[in-house]
Structure formats: C-alpha cells, structure tokens
Structure 1
C-alpha cells in the first residue's frame, strides 16, 4: 500500500482511539472513555496498524505496551488531535462557543478542592455546552499530560519554564507537628529544627519545592516516610510518626479533623508556593482553554 493511499484513509477517529488506548494502557478503559465497544476499539487500532504498516502496540494479557515507533507516533497523533480540537473550538467560538471539549489536569487538594470548583462553576455557567473532562494526578504528572497533549490546560506549581503559565495564587508552606512534639510551643520553626525529627516527605505538589529548599540550605531531613496522598501524610503526623511540610491551602478545614490531632507552625524564614494554570503554547491554545484561564485569573483577582 502506497504512502498516499494510507495517508488518505487514516481518520481522526482512529488516531483518537490509538491515543486513548496508549494513555489508558488498555482496550476496555479506552472503550469506556470513548463510549464505544471494545471490539470497535480493537478493529480501529488494527486497521490503523495495517494502514501504517507498523505495529503500534504490544498486546499482553495484563494490558498493552507501546512499541518504540508507537511511542513516537503517539506524540504526533496527540499533536494532530490537539490542533484538530482547536480548529473545531475556534469555529465554535465564532458561533458563540456552544460546543467543544476541555480537558483539565489537576493535582492535590490545592487545585482540585480549593481552586477548581469555583472556577468550574463559573465556567459551566458561561459555557454550559462545553464538555469538561478532568484528570487528577501529581503536579509532575499534570506537566507531562500537558506536554503530551493529553490535557489542554493544567494546574501546576510555579515556576514552570517549559510551559506558558498564568499565576492564580500564592500560598504559605507550613510545618505540621504531632500535638506532643517538643516544638509544639514554638512560635515558628526552621527547616534545620525539623531535620532533628523523623520527616514525612510529600511526593505530591510540594515535593520538588521542599527538596530544593533543603538542598539550598545544605540540609538533609531524616526522611523515614514518603506519601503522595495528603490524607496519609496527615494521618502519619497525627500518629506521631514524624513531621512534615505542606502548603497551607492544601490542608482541610480544622473542623473536619480532630482539633488537637496536629499542630501547624509557620516556617522561619517564611516560604511561599505559587500555583497557576499552564498550557503547552498559549498561541495554539483552544478557545475553551483560553476562556477557562480568563475566568480563573479573573476570579483570583477578585479575592
């Protein structure tokens, strides 16, 4: 089959199915996400492989794995699909943006519980016909999803030089101590003082920031536990397993926890964290993405 013949017959639907199978690592999950049968997914992917003349995915009993050429072509497929969605949304924008899809990447309580709900409420009110899809992961996963065009816009910890970013808020980093900790009576604590206790290192949004902070002061915390989930980190602090540092905005309301389960202390010197939205390229961002960013930034300016 000639290059021109398979090039003419390849469809956006096949590319989307290929991208979903690759991202979700399975035919069943991809079929569910796309709302089609698993046999349709298998047929479309097999047809695409036949048309391109290469194997894109290794099929295993426990899932699927991209071939080397499959991983390479996935990036192209995601780029094509992203630009196609932008074109559709630009056309929809001319009609009042009544249809389209917005894929959002979100991480942790700071974004998913504190920022996103209010932004999404205003967005849905203004653009009720736009389909919104939300994927949640760590901040590093969200950055990868943006770069891979798996999501259109994502919440990230700033700075992030590889993406076009928009500041939403600034947050204080605070130390969390068990209620009976020797530093419980202190007005504030330093990073050095926290190194004397077992440390619970978050591997979520604040993880890279904490590592840079300790490294800058040539300190090495006594990391005995690592946790990617806020609830696990809080539980370990409550049980006296160690101390930790988290973003204040990520913490739940005190009424939802035991009043004396942990003690929050400001750091000395103070440490702040900025959270914002990011897109791969602002110039190529879809109208739906630009509208989401405009609403998000506008809301934060009012607060």
Structure 2
C-alpha cells in the first residue's frame, strides 16, 4: 500500500466535516474534481470505500470513519512535531500551541477553571480550547478516539479497560451520588423523581435497581443544571453526582444516600502518542495537582 500524503488526510477530514465534496473543495481552496480524485486515490490505497456518495452528500462508511479518525490523529501529531522538536533539550520545557480538551459539563465548570488558570500562567504560549460534550454514547472518550480532542475528562468504570479502544486513561477522583431535594421538605424520598439523560451508567445501575423507594421519573430533561433548578423550585427530588451539586442554587438541600452510596470515577483519556507531548503532559500534571472540591476524594 502507498502511504497517504498529508494533503490527502486533510481532504478526508474536510469531506467528513462538510459532508460534501463541493463544500470541502471550497474550504480547502481547490476544485471539486480535485477532491473527488484525492478521495478515490485514498480509497484505492486503503482498499476500502470511505464515503457513500448520493443526493444526501458524502457520508462516511464504517471504514471511512476509522480512516478519518486516524487522519485526524496523524495530522494532530504533525502539528505537534514542530513545538516538540524545538523544545527538545531546553532547560525549561516550552509549551506552545493549541490544546484541545473535551469535558462533560459539571467537571468542566468546577474542575477545569483553576487547572487552566495555573496551566496558562506557567505556559503563556499555550492556548486551551475546551468543548462541552455530553457523556452519552461514546462521550468524551469517543471525541479523543476520533481525533477531535487531545484529552478528554470522562467518567470511568470502577474496573476495566479505557472507555474507547486504543486510548490510555487514569483516574483523578471518585465522587459519590447524593439526594438533592427542596430545603425543609419533611420526606424528600417521597417526592417525584426529576432525572436527566446522562444519569445512567454501570456505576449506578446495580445500586438503583436495589432501591424500591425510587419512583419512575416524572420529569426527564437533557441537562443536569435544569434538573437541579427544577428541584430547587420544589418540583421533585433528584439523585446526582457531587460535582453536579457544587454551587447549587438557593432552595436546594443535599442529603447523603446512606453508608454505601453509588459512586463514579472521573479521570482523563488520551491517545498513547499524545500522552507523550509536552502540552498534554503539562495538563495532566495540573489535573493531578488540583485540590479537589468538598465531597470528592482522590482516586
């Protein structure tokens, strides 16, 4: 097989993101025929069809999804090569460039700000770019595996491999779940349940099934902040991880769920190759050194 050239990798990524050969050509400043020719060349070299073409535009095949994920990761390493090489042998490691981070909302709101403040103070040439990704399906780990992020803050199972193949992961802290309910309510466990889409996982499912006092959800929402707000207004109770309840609004009370509450681990995921880059190493150092808010304990 002949290796793919960098410009071919960029074309694959552009077609996937634009879902159109024509739009990808406009983005790259070339012609639609040049993009079509490059994609056909990539398919010939890889021995697989990468895109379904039709009236819907260009959609990735399963093989194409894997190819584009590799393309993004290779292009990211090429972008990191210059700063890494220039910083080799320096007395003080210089960290520059863009650092792409994905995180779910609660950890992005409560853990990342002080971490990034220290990181950028130590490395003013580094520009973090943070995206919030819902922890559903492949979640933040999927974004890293697909090459869209350098490091993701993710929920991790108590035991088992990283949440996506080909990644490395490490725990940062463990957080327990608690009962959120309106202040002053005499029997909060008897209230209707307010739930949100991300509030499910192997770390809570077994515990949840053993609780005969939890009713079916009366209100389901997409965002945990909405669930917290509804509970603070007296519309029910919710069972939530501690980071979600940090900085809770007035009117909300938090009660322990007993001596053995459910818990989950939160940590980081990255790729083996990016784990060795200066920017990702610097971020991991700050994450590990960060003081934890009340209610969380180091993993």
Per the shorter chain, which TM-score range? 0.7 to 0.9
Instruction: Work out whether residues 56 and 67 of structure 1, in 8 Å CA contact, stay in contact via their aligned partners in 2.
Output: yes
Say whether residues 1:127 and 2:120 are aligned partners: no
Runs of at least 5 residues in structure 2 that lack an aligned partner in the other structure: 295-299
Say whether residues 1:146 and 2:144 are aligned partners: yes
Runs of at least 5 residues in structure 1 that lack an aligned partner in the other structure: 185-193
Change (3 A) 1:219 1:294: same
Equivalence for 2:281: 290
Deviation at 1:248, TM superposition (A): 2.3
Equivalence for 1:137: 133
Instruction: Work out whether residues 12 and 39 of structure 2, in 8 Å CA contact, stay in contact via their aligned partners in 1.
Output: no
Equivalence for 2:72: 78
36-45 or 100-109, larger mean C-alpha shift: 36-45
**1:106 aligns with one of 94, 103, 110:** 103
Equivalent residues in 2 for 1:1-303, closer than 5 Å: 4=2, 7=3, 10-19=4-13, 21-22=15-16, 24=17, 26=19, 38=27, 40=29, 43=32, 45-53=35-43, 56-58=50-52, 64-94=58-88, 96-109=93-106, 111-140=107-136, 141-159=139-157, 161-162=161-162, 163-179=167-183, 181-184=185-188, 194=189, 197-204=191-198, 206-208=199-201, 209-215=203-209, 221-254=215-248, 257=249, 259-260=250-251, 262-271=252-261, 272-281=263-272, 284-300=275-291
Deviation at 1:297, TM superposition (A): 0.7
* Higher share of residues assigned helix: 1
Helix, strand or coil at the partner of 1:131: strand
Measure the CA separation in 2 of the matches of 1:89 and 1:216. 53
Instruction: Work out whether residues 178 and 239 of structure 1, in 8 Å CA contact, stay in contact via their aligned partners in 2.
Output: yes
Instruction: Work out whether residues 152 and 270 of structure 2, in 8 Å CA contact, stay in contact via their aligned partners in 1.
Output: yes
Instruction: Work out whether residues 275 and 281 of structure 2, in 8 Å CA contact, stay in contact via their aligned partners in 1.
Output: no
Helix, strand or coil at the partner of 1:207: coil
Measure the CA separation in 1 of the matches of 2:221 and 2:193. 11
212-221 or 161-170, larger mean C-alpha shift: 212-221
Instruction: Work out whether residues 164 and 282 of structure 1, in 8 Å CA contact, stay in contact via their aligned partners in 2.
Output: no
Deviation at 1:264, TM superposition (A): 1.7
Deviation at 1:104, TM superposition (A): 0.8
Deviation at 1:235, TM superposition (A): 3.0
Change (3 A) 1:241 1:14: farther
Measure the CA separation in 2 of the matches of 1:246 and 1:225. 14
Deviation at 1:146, TM superposition (A): 2.0
Measure the CA separation in 2 of the matches of 1:42 and 1:228. 41
Tell me the C-alpha RMSD between the 2 structures.
3.6
Deviation at 1:63, TM superposition (A): 6.8
Deviation at 1:232, TM superposition (A): 1.5
Instruction: Work out whether residues 173 and 270 of structure 1, in 8 Å CA contact, stay in contact via their aligned partners in 2.
Output: no
Measure the CA separation in 1 of the matches of 2:20 and 2:114. 34
Deviation at 1:243, TM superposition (A): 1.8
Change (3 A) 1:273 1:240: same
Instruction: Work out whether residues 107 and 138 of structure 1, in 8 Å CA contact, stay in contact via their aligned partners in 2.
Output: yes
Measure the CA separation in 2 of the matches of 1:63 and 1:198. 46
Measure the CA separation in 2 of the matches of 1:218 and 1:129. 54
